[in-house]
């Protein structure tokens, strides 16, 4: 009887800890929303301040940005597949879809870095004008988050391979899922507000 009570208490404490972890992560996401909100506000104020330098309409190449967007959106879908496999307790399927998601995220970063190199080589560096300073700050901040997300993904893949999928792993995967989908939402805002709106006469 005593052992049963201790087991129930242990499970209850573990469940409570998991809920606190997810709740704490939601608080972190809210703080990230504030950071990106400030960056978007700065961009909105300075979006026409080119200081005689190249304009966004002259420099942006939408096909490349559209490819970045597609890679990130598909990675969100594949990570959703990973979560489905994880909740089924399928280790192989979870790892496979997480690897696919990480590769797609890396592809996004590759295209983003390629775009930065192109812009800087053609005179649109962060020190040219207020517009390009805010552009590089906003987009690179998002890129840094994607980088951290990929590293986090790799760490969890290693943990799953070593320990399998257990009750402690699922909340970690759920938090990463929230983070990865959050980055998708932010990028859609960047794509719409920064790139598409800059093409409007």
Q: What is the pLDDT of residues 95-127, one digit of tens each?
A: 999 999 999 999 999 999 999 999 999 999 999
Residues 6+ apart with CB under 8 A from 60: 195, 198, 199
Q: 135, 113, 171, 159: which is closest to 47 by C-alpha?
A: 135
Evaluate whether 113 touches 107 at the Cβ level (below 8 Å).
no
Among 19-33, 64-78, 126-140, 174-188, which is the least confidently predicted range?
Answer: 19-33
For tokens 């939402």, the residue is: 185
Q: CA-based angle 94:100:101, to the nearest 5?
A: 85
pLDDT tens readout for residues 72-86: 999 999 999 999 999
Its pTM stands at: 0.87
Question: Shortest CA distance to 142 belongs to which of 170, 116, 103, 119?
Answer: 116
pLDDT digits (tens, 9 = 90+) for 41-55: 999 999 999 988 899
What is the total count of domains within the chain? 1
Q: Give how far the C-alpha of residue 18 lies from the chain's centroid of Cα atoms, to the nearest Å.
A: 22
Which residues form the domain of 88? Answer: 2-198
Kindly report the CATH number assigned to the domain that includes residue 153.
1.20.120.80
CA 162 vs. chain centroid, Å, equals 25
């Amino acid at each position: 009887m005593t052992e049963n009570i201790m087991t129930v208490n242990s499970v209850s404490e573990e469940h409570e800890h998991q809920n606190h972890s997810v709740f704490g992560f939601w608080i972190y996401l809210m703080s990230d929303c504030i950071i990106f909100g400030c960056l978007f506000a700065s961009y909105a104020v300075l979006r026409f301040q080119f200081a005689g330098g190249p304009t966004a309409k002259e420099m942006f190449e939408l096909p490349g940005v559209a490819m970045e967007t597609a890679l990130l959106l598909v990675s969100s879908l594949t990570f959703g597949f990973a979560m489905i496999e994880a909740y089924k307790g399928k280790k192989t399927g979870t790892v496979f879809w997480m690897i696919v998601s990480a590769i797609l995220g890396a592809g996004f970063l590759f295209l983003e870095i390629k775009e930065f190199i192109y812009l800087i080589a053609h005179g649109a560096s962060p020190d040219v004008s207020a517009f390009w300073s805010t552009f590089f700050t906003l987009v690179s901040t998002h890129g840094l988050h994607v980088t951290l997300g990929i590293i986090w993904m790799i760490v969890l893949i290693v943990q799953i391979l070593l320990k399998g999928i257990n009750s402690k792993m699922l909340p970690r995967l759920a938090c990463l899922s929230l983070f990865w989908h959050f980055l998708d939402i932010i990028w859609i805002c960047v794509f719409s507000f920064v790139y598409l709106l800059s093409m409007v006469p």
